[in-house]
Amino acid sequence: MRRYRLSELPGAGAGHVFRGIVSGLYIWQEAAVEFRRPSEVVPWSVHDDEEIYVILQGRARVRLEGGVEQVAAGDVIVIEPGERHQFESDEREPCVQMYVHCGPEPHPNQATHSREKGEQCP
């Protein structure tokens, strides 16, 4: 796991906002905002791609096989491919988080005939 603050992100330029901290060229799967209940524990998960969590509000604990990390609003967490992880929302300051997966292809909803022809967006 790698941790950043929103203010530390290098900016997107010609890519997505996380481009300077992950190798995935596109946000290609699952964009969601989740409102967690106090003490809610998310089941263990693992992925084949980079997953990015942005803590929008509150606090949480990220459990990894190597230990536990405390995260808070403004933290940007990069979960590496193959890294088992689990989130638990704080009891007093429940977590609101956004997560996306980054990978080598655009999201299927972004694939168009123009992209296949190599055309640029207007």
Residue 7 DSSP one-character state: G
Name the residue range of residue 68's domain.
2-107
Q: What CATH number has the domain bearing residue 78?
A: 2.60.120.10
Q: From 116, 121, 69, 120, select the one nearest 95 (Cα to Cα).
A: 69
Dig out the tokens for 102 from the structure: 């980054």
pTM of the model: 0.79
Confirm whether 28 is domain-assigned: yes
Confirm whether 19 is domain-assigned: yes
Confirm whether 114 is domain-assigned: no
Confirm whether 117 is domain-assigned: no
Confirm whether 40 is domain-assigned: yes
Q: From 4, 5, 24, 6, select the one nearest 15 (Cα to Cα).
A: 24
Give the Cβ contact number of residue 13 at 10 Å. 9
Per-residue confidence (pLDDT) for residue 39, from 0 to 100? 86
Confirm whether 116 is domain-assigned: no
Per-residue confidence (pLDDT) for residue 71, from 0 to 100? 96
Confirm whether 6 is domain-assigned: yes
Radius of gyration of the chain (CA): 16
Number of domains within the chain: 1
Q: What is the pLDDT along the chain (122 residues), one digit of tens a residue?
A: 999 998 888 765 667 888 888 888 888 876 788 898 988 888 999 999 999 999 999 999 999 999 999 999 999 999 999 999 999 999 999 999 999 998 888 888 876 644 444 555 44
